[in-house]
A and B are shown apart, each in its own frame.
Chain A
Amino acid sequence: MLGRSANGIFWLFRYLERAENTARLVEAGFRMALTRDAADASDEWRSVVVTLGLQGAYQAKFGSDYAGSNVFNFILRDRDNPGNVLSMVEQARHNARMVRTGITREVWEAVNESWMVLKEELARTVTETRLGGVLDLVRRQSTLVRGAMEGTMLRNDIYYFARAGSFIERADNTARLLDVKYYVLLPSVSYVGSSLDNVQWDNVLRAVAGDRAYRWLNAGRMEARGIAEFLMLDGRFPRSLAFCYAQLRDYLDRLSDEYGDRLETHEIVARTHQQLKHQTIDAVFEQGLHQVIGQFIAANNHLAQQIQRDYRFTE
């Protein structure tokens, strides 16, 4: 396949993954804000903006006023925010058009439909009443694309690049959430057993759709260390770093089998995967949660760049 097409499909799935994760994050923020007083709610919205790396752009427009409807409209549809959800979906569709020959008709139609319905929904300001429906739509459309992929795409290099894009992005998004919320998870500052903690923790889990899974696995026992372990190291949870890397390694290995060569990409993914596999949460906290996450984000970026180099995404 063309290097340009590999690049197109890799980013198509990064954009879609990012749009979906952004919706989840906003959803968790919204729920959190509803249960707090105005000052705390504004803190919560601020942390959502920081997690998405949009602080600079946001403050340039609104200063330090983190009113909920400003924040979610900025994230979802504001043209002053080049990374708004609508433009991500637009970009995804643009890429899908570009790699139209590499995807099935069903995948194309799912991506095209996502863009059509979201464009319509996000044509006007989103109110608090409509927010739930809009976020739901983002998630549902993402699921639709994933389903079309799963059900209709050949398992070959094109599919592997798509999956690699999804999991690189997902790992990055989970890691960024941990990076911003790490203080919530630090035992030293937590008010053990306080209801505030519980809500904060619950919110982190919600943002990655992991609240139910965590409770089910841990019989309802909320605890900072357990949550960090779940999000980083639990290979059963589909948004954990360990899960993403098991998938990444698997798909990149299959790519290596198909092409019959092992490249720098494969060394890097194997290394990070090994680290996550043998890592313990005690060791993470010993070394410093913040530092470990920071290193992970850098390594993940490095892998993305190496894939682009090894497979000639650009000239």
Chain B
Amino acid sequence: MTNSSLSSYDEMLDADGFTRPAYAGYCEWLKQQPPELLRRKSGEAEAFFRKTGITFNVYGNEDAEERLIPFDMVPRIINAAQWRRLSRGIEQRVRALNAFLHDLYHRQEIVRAGRLPERVLKANKAFLPQMAGFTPPGGVYTHIVGIDLVRTGEEDFMVLEDNARTPSGVSYMLENRETMMAMFPELFTKVRVREVSDYPRRLARSLAACAPPAANGHKPVVAVLTPGTFNSAYYEHAFLADQMGAELVEGSDLKVENGRVAMRTTRGWEAIDVLYRRVDDDYLDPLTFKPESVLGVSGIMDVYRAGGITIANAPGTGIADDKAIYSFMPEIVEFYTGEKPILANVPTWRCAESDSLAYVMDNLADLVVKEVHGSGGYGMLIGPTSSRREIAMFAEKLRANPENYIAQPTLSLSTVPIFTKAGLAPRHVDLRPFVLVSPQGIDITPGGLTRVALKKGSLVVNSSQGGGTKDSWVLDD
């Protein structure tokens, strides 16, 4: 998907080619750096990542079992005032998401009030009847959230997606900063950038604050559940467990004993209080969900409902990051907070509605059409870059099953320069800030993960499709 960069908002340079204030300090430093030094550093960054083993497994690609996500050395910079507004918007949205989840699994007031059609919930696989009537410890559903933001102008940030299941990428946020600080230490003495490195400590604290009744006031035992070394995000699972001082467990380490979920340690079975699981709902409990799953623990759902363990994020939160639900987020935010949403949604047509479907069918060549339950940039139509034939084929699928799709306009995403052999060149970016939720409050790490489309003009930033990442800076006041 390409888009003329001319019409896009560039975050570093204004329309007249002058440096915007947020980048002033950085650009001043940059001017003094010899070009060959920067080229050499770029090579160093890759060697650094290989050495530390920050890799990313691509599904269905045997040869490249461990691939690096390319890292670009030009930081993405957000000024303090912009960040304050973003944080308020993110906090409002996350608060609404949790209230919404609680409501969905209890009285469904929002449906009764006629603000959300019942059909969106019915037959939605992400809705777990097992969660109905149950309130997770501390009332928290989404302990960790990633809110994907895109920008189209100076003040125009929009939410592209809410990741409420098991958002990944936070290890890149942390390692990108480490890499930048290792490569350009003096830069950080010239520009004051807000710290991100205490994220793991904050995560540990936030998870511990959600301990279940069974923890009985003791220091909670936290463990990270991973599907194993072959999972694409294994590096991150290990990284977070390591940084939190938590055990990294697999399904085969766990069993239910005396009403608790316990891990097999060298000293015997030890009960777990909070399980930060990086395993999908479907695989969590073979007794409740997929019977063939070996990634989860038989009986964990019973323990959960009896207050024996906290599962983070709670099972069934996937319903909140469903794209059909996404289109209702403005209503959802207003319904539960009583306020207008601070952050806008990307305009979205719900193909389930006949007026919208008609519009979408007429304008396929200009729209992006996504599967309601899809993710990672798969199974979508990008109108402007598709051939007539592709569009015609997609139109058939759409007509056959309209409620499976939503459509959005092709956005002119903002750009930030990357280093290329020919010098700086603008590329489209998005931003995923990471948010922690506990009964003590909502905690947003300043910045997040900036993903960047490395191909000129491309709007696809997904790492599974050749995107890269950047260090993301929030300037100190």
Residues of A within 8 A of B (CB): 1-6, 94, 97-98, 100-101, 105, 108-109, 112-113, 116, 157, 161, 259, 311-312, 315
Contact = CB atoms under 8 A, between A and B. Distances in A.
Contacts of A109: 51-53
Residue picked from A94, A97, A100, A116, most chain B C-beta under 10 Å: A100
A109 B252 CA distance: 27
Interface string B266-288: 11100000000000000000000
B20 to A, nearest CB: 37
Interface string B242-280: 100011111011000000000111111000000000000
Instruction: Name which of A1, A6, A101 has the most chain B CB atoms within 10 A of its CB.
Output: A101
A2 B53 contact: no
Nearest to A105: B52
A101 B229 contact: no
Given A100-B248, A101-B242, A101-B247, A3 B51 contact: no
Given A101-B241, A311-B266, A315-B264, A4 B253 contact: yes
A3 B262 CA distance: 12
A312 B266 contact: yes
B266 A1 contact: yes
Interface of B: 50-53, 229, 234, 238-239, 241-242, 246-250, 252-253, 263-268
Contacts of B268: 312
30 contacts: A1-B247, A1-B265, A1-B266, A2-B253, A2-B263, A2-B264, A2-B265, A3-B265, A3-B266, A4-B250, A4-B253, A5-B247, A97-B53, A97-B234, A97-B238, A98-B229, A100-B239, A101-B238, A101-B242, A101-B246, A101-B247, A101-B248, A109-B52, A112-B53, A116-B51, A157-B266, A161-B266, A259-B267, A311-B266, A315-B264
Contacts of B51: 109, 112-113, 116
Given A112-B53, A116-B51, 5 more contacts: A4-B253, A94-B229, A108-B52, A108-B53, A259-B267
Contact of B252 (A4, A108, A161, A311): A4
A interface majority secondary structure: helix
B248 A312 contact: no
Nearest to B249: A2
Contacts of A113: 51
B56 to A, nearest CB: 13
Candidate in B238, B249, B266, B267 with the most chain A CB atoms within 10 angstroms? B266
Nearest to B53: A112
B264 A312 contact: yes
A96 to B, nearest CB: 9
